[in-house]
Amino acid sequence: MSGTPDATPFGPSGGGPAAGPAHEQPGTAADPGPPLRLHFIGNATLLVRYGPLTLLTDPNFLHRGQFAHLGYGLVSRRLTEPALSVEEAAAGGLDAVVLSHLHGDHWDRVARHGLDPALPVLTTPHAARRLRHLQGFRNATGLRDWDSRTLSAGGVQIRLTALPARHAGNLPLRLALPPVMGSMLECGLAGAPPSLRLYISGDTMLFDGLRRIAARYPAMDVAVLHLGGTRLPGGFVVTLDGPRGAELVELLRPDHVLPVHYGDYTVMRSPLADFLTASRKRGTRNRVAPWVHGRQAVITPGDRAVDVA
The domain limits of the chain are 32-291
Q: Identify the DSSP state of 247.
A: H
Q: What is the pLDDT of residue 16?
A: 37
Q: What is the mean pLDDT of each run of 10 residues along the chain (309 residues)?
A: 31 35 47 94 98 99 96 91 98 98 97 98 99 98 98 98 94 91 98 96 98 97 97 93 98 97 97 98 95 94 83
Q: What is the pLDDT of residue 252?
A: 98
Indicate the CATH number for domain 32-291.
3.60.15.10
Q: What is the pLDDT of residue 304?
A: 67
What is the chain's alpha carbon radius of gyration, rounded to the nearest angstrom?
Answer: 18
- What are the phi and psi torsion angles at 249 (to 5°)? -60, -45
Q: What is the pLDDT of residue 305?
A: 75
Distance CA 81, CA 66 (A): 10
Asked if 188 and 194 touch (Cβ cutoff 8 Å), the reply is: yes
The closest alpha carbon to 184, from 10, 303, 7, 26, belongs to 26
